[in-house]
Structure 1
Amino acid sequence: MADRVSGGARPTRRAALAGLAGAISTPALMRSAWAAETVNVGVAVPLSGANAQFGVNSRNGIELVAEEINAAGGIKALGGARINLVIADSTSTPTNAANVAQRMITQNRVSAILGAFASSLTIAISEVTERRDVPLLTMSFADQVTGRGFKNVFQVVAKASVIGAAQFDGTLAIAKAAGQTLERVAIMYEDTAYGTAQAVGLREGAKRAGVQIVMDDAYPLGITDVTPLINKLRASNAQAVFPVSYLSDSLQIIRVMRQQGITIPAIGGAAGYVIPDFEKGLGPFAEGVLSVAPANYDLAPDLTERFRKRYGYFMVHEALEHAVCMDVLAKAIEKAGKADPAAIRAALAGARFEGGWTRAMTGGAVQFDANGLNTLSVPVMVQWRQKELVTVWPEPYAKGKALWQS
């Protein structure tokens, strides 16, 4: 069923999860399409399955900004129309994600959709939104998201191959600053759209630097036993390892590494390596772990501390970037002067958005190119320090000096 955001009242978790049943609209939403008094915005995120925590984080970021917009008077170009979030569980399965998007468009008459964190889910949703000419704003990484020439998809972060290259380049710079020369590295990644795309960037970075990749292994999402991978890592004699994975896999990889006494630096690929559950699940093993990230909360504390105060934990990057998606969408609706999807899409295409939550991005704004990719997004390197993530690279954004483990 639909979930309504108004006047700062937060949707309950039960209401959010109810979206899985079909995102059926309430009578209030059965008025003429895109009614002036409300703007229906679809939020399709995984609230169950392997990626549920990421979905909850994403939903929290979106609802925070939607409530701020409503509290400030709504969409002024539409006479103060309120943002009405239609939240639904995409689950962690692409087919379900596509079905949820279809229902949002046909039953809830959404003006745009935000989601869905995991690239495989977002790609499935984008096939639906492209056919129905409905804008989709996302923070999913995979190159494929904006690499197919679609006109209705808008990606606020750098693509995965760029993030993968930054993951390698940042590590190389951090090692050099610590007086270390990297000659041999290992890559292990889940065989999803996100993992495979980011691995491409890692390989390209290693090739440019003349560094040997002594292990390059894909594994299935939700792997039950990482011991064979870690045994292979030990035998590879790598000086550093680049694991690209979601939460459950990231916990296994780092835990087994450290339990076996493998202390080489581990440089995560965002996702499972940059959320509070990573530190909670690993305790002392998390300290010093590096990761790449599309953005980090310590770059704009005046904005992100509002999230911590509201939800009780730091603003993870998927929450931050989905917050940016919501803010950019609201700006586009103001620009369009309509809640019609075609008008919103036209307002988004090739446009630059400044102020508000766009300041939390490394580029300080959002600028979409012809394919819908934000060309201003610059990945950063972060490191776990006493249960917080500190930005440590590149220098213009660093809030602390990186520590190199060996």
Structure 2
Amino acid sequence: MKNNTTDRLVRSRHRIGRRDFLAGAAALGVASAGFPAVLRAQSETVKIGLIHPVTGFISFSGTQCRTGAQMAIDDINAAGGIKSMGGAMLEAMLGDSQGKPEIGAQEVSKMVEAGVAGFVAGYSSAISLATSQEAAKTNTPHVVDVGVSDQITSRGLANTFRFAPGYGKVAEIAVANLDTINKTAGSPAKSAMIVHEESLFGTGTAKLLSEKLPGIGIEVLDVIKHANPTRDFTNIALQIKSKQPDLIIPANYYNEYVLLARTLQQQQVEAKGIYSVLGGAASSYQFVNEYPEAAEQIMDCNHWFDPKSDTALARKKAAEAKGVIYTYEVFLAYNAVAFLADAIERAGSTDKDAVIAALAGSTWDQHGMPYGSTKMENGQNMGAQPVNTQVQNGAIEVIFPKEFASADAVFPMS
């Protein structure tokens, strides 16, 4: 009977299966009983728990995370697995949180019983909080791939790590970059409205922005919360249209972001700029390709790869060759797995304390991100930072920081 918790990936094609080994031994006239140690070594794997919302309202993003994580496992196994453990292969244990924190926590408990060495989870902040808390009960290493709530790392859980930035740092950089963009254009933006989804991610981001925007001379006219899922943004678009803010600032997941942007276009809502902060679709090739007019000139402060990194570009090319849209979920989950695998490699075992110590002391730099050196403090990578992107002529360009930029900002929107 198939169980989604223990639904395992096919192991590396280069590994010798037990049946193949026995068949080969028989063909050579060798008694398999003479090789018990070899057989045991062949069966050893390092189990990595991947828990994402692959069904439910955020299933697109959860599936993208799972895809990125599986790509990392495949690449690591193809390169020889965990060499310090004799070439042990990574084996994925797949769990579906269904977008619900309590189910994510249940998946953790089941996987711990099945011998998982560590977790990569859980896309949303609420799910990541639940999965990391449950993993902490058994001191099992847990790497958060996307979840941005600062509560994830501020609780003091020794087992929990996040390689990407949290929304505190994202909001800080987003506001500073917006101030620069606005002042460079002669300060045309003086007001904003924030539209955010109802969970911990959207609510926390909106609160931080509401506190910081007045400090750069931008009045927040209104903050509008919407449910997940939302299938009609007409009323919200009309509210925005009636108040005529200079800036519209969305913070929501992919499906709702796309629908909001399309509704704004259909209702002919005009603004000097749409400036997303952790926008679920603003920095997405799928959104840009499917709805180019709605996406054009939207700015976003979000997770993004270094466009000048050979490592990042090679992974992007490999993903696209498989038909995978290279979204932030893909490369953040890939890096979360690679970061955990590097710690296991340096620990030389799956001993939980040893792996946690290796994660805490990591200086891993094979990430292809605009991060600089990895430095963990209380589970948070202090080198991590977002970038600002803007859709220009159907392409996603980096506009900040300048050392990673591929274009200058276009503001106000034309």
**TM-score interval, normalised by the smaller of the two chains:** 0.7 to 0.9
Counterpart CA distance in 1 for 2:10 and 2:214 is: 49
CA offsets, 1:341-382, max 9 Å, x none?
232112112x232332x2x2222332210x201100111111
Is the 8 Å Cα contact of residues 383 and 390 (structure 1) preserved in structure 2?
yes
TM-score, normalising length from structure 1? 0.87
Counterpart CA distance in 2 for 1:179 and 1:313 is: 41
Residue 7 of structure 2 is aligned to residue 2 of structure 1: yes
- What's the offset of the Cα at 1:63? 1.4
Residue 325 of structure 2 is aligned to residue 291 of structure 1: no
Residue 282 of structure 2 is aligned to residue 273 of structure 1: yes
TM-score, normalising length from structure 2? 0.85
Residue 142 of structure 2 is aligned to residue 136 of structure 1: yes
Other-structure match for 1:185: 192
> Percent identity at matched positions?
23
The aligned amino acid for 2:140 is V
Other-structure match for 2:237: 230
- What's the offset of the Cα at 1:235? 2.1
Number of residues of Structure 1 aligned to a counterpart in Structure 2: 378
- What's the offset of the Cα at 1:314? 4.5
Question: Which range moved further: 279-288 or 134-143?
Answer: 279-288
Other-structure match for 1:125: 131
Q: Any stretches of 5+ residues in structure 2 without a counterpart?
A: 1-5, 15-40
CA offsets, 1:189-215, max 9 Å, x none?
112111112113312331321321111
Alignment of structure 1 residues 91-110 onto 2, 5 Å: 91-106=98-113, 108-110=114-116
Instruction: Describe the shift of the 1:296–1:176 C-alpha distance in structure 2 as closer, same or farther (beyond 3 A).
Output: farther
Question: Which range moved further: 40-49 or 54-63?
Answer: 54-63
Residue 250 of structure 2 is aligned to residue 243 of structure 1: yes
Other-structure match for 1:322: 333
Is the 8 Å Cα contact of residues 36 and 79 (structure 1) preserved in structure 2?
no
Q: Which among 147, 157, 167 is matched to residue 174 of structure 2? A: 167
Counterpart CA distance in 1 for 2:340 and 2:117 is: 10
Find the structure with the greater CA-based Rg: 2
- What's the offset of the Cα at 1:313? 4.3
Instruction: Give the secondary structure class of the aligned counterpart of 1:348.
Output: helix
Q: Any stretches of 5+ residues in structure 1 without a counterpart?
A: 10-33
Instruction: Describe the shift of the 1:246–1:112 C-alpha distance in structure 2 as closer, same or farther (beyond 3 A).
Output: same
Is the 8 Å Cα contact of residues 165 and 204 (structure 1) preserved in structure 2?
no
- What's the offset of the Cα at 1:297? 5.7
Q: Which among 38, 48, 66 is matched to residue 73 of structure 2? A: 66
Other-structure match for 2:374: 366
Is the 8 Å Cα contact of residues 61 and 123 (structure 2) preserved in structure 1?
yes
Instruction: Describe the shift of the 1:70–1:319 C-alpha distance in structure 2 as closer, same or farther (beyond 3 A).
Output: same
Is the 8 Å Cα contact of residues 190 and 220 (structure 1) preserved in structure 2?
yes
- What's the offset of the Cα at 1:318? 1.6
Instruction: Give the secondary structure class of the aligned counterpart of 1:274.
Output: coil
The aligned amino acid for 1:294 is H
Is the 8 Å Cα contact of residues 307 and 404 (structure 2) preserved in structure 1?
no
Residue 266 of structure 2 is aligned to residue 259 of structure 1: yes
Is the 8 Å Cα contact of residues 164 and 201 (structure 1) preserved in structure 2?
yes
Instruction: Give the secondary structure class of the aligned counterpart of 1:298.
Output: coil
Q: Which among 324, 347, 353 is matched to residue 363 of structure 2? A: 353
CA offsets, 1:168-202, max 9 Å, x none?
32223223333443211111111211111211331
Residue 222 of structure 2 is aligned to residue 211 of structure 1: no
Counterpart CA distance in 2 for 1:90 and 1:316 is: 20
The aligned amino acid for 2:9 is R
Counterpart CA distance in 2 for 1:296 and 1:101 is: 29
Residue 211 of structure 2 is aligned to residue 201 of structure 1: no
The aligned amino acid for 1:340 is D
Instruction: Describe the shift of the 1:105–1:74 C-alpha distance in structure 2 as closer, same or farther (beyond 3 A).
Output: same
Is the 8 Å Cα contact of residues 41 and 111 (structure 1) preserved in structure 2?
yes
- What's the offset of the Cα at 1:152? 1.1
Instruction: Give the secondary structure class of the aligned counterpart of 2:154.
Output: coil
- What's the offset of the Cα at 1:90? 1.6
Counterpart CA distance in 2 for 1:5 and 1:177 is: 53
Is the 8 Å Cα contact of residues 78 and 334 (structure 1) preserved in structure 2?
yes
Counterpart CA distance in 1 for 2:306 and 2:104 is: 28
Counterpart CA distance in 1 for 2:372 and 2:169 is: 18
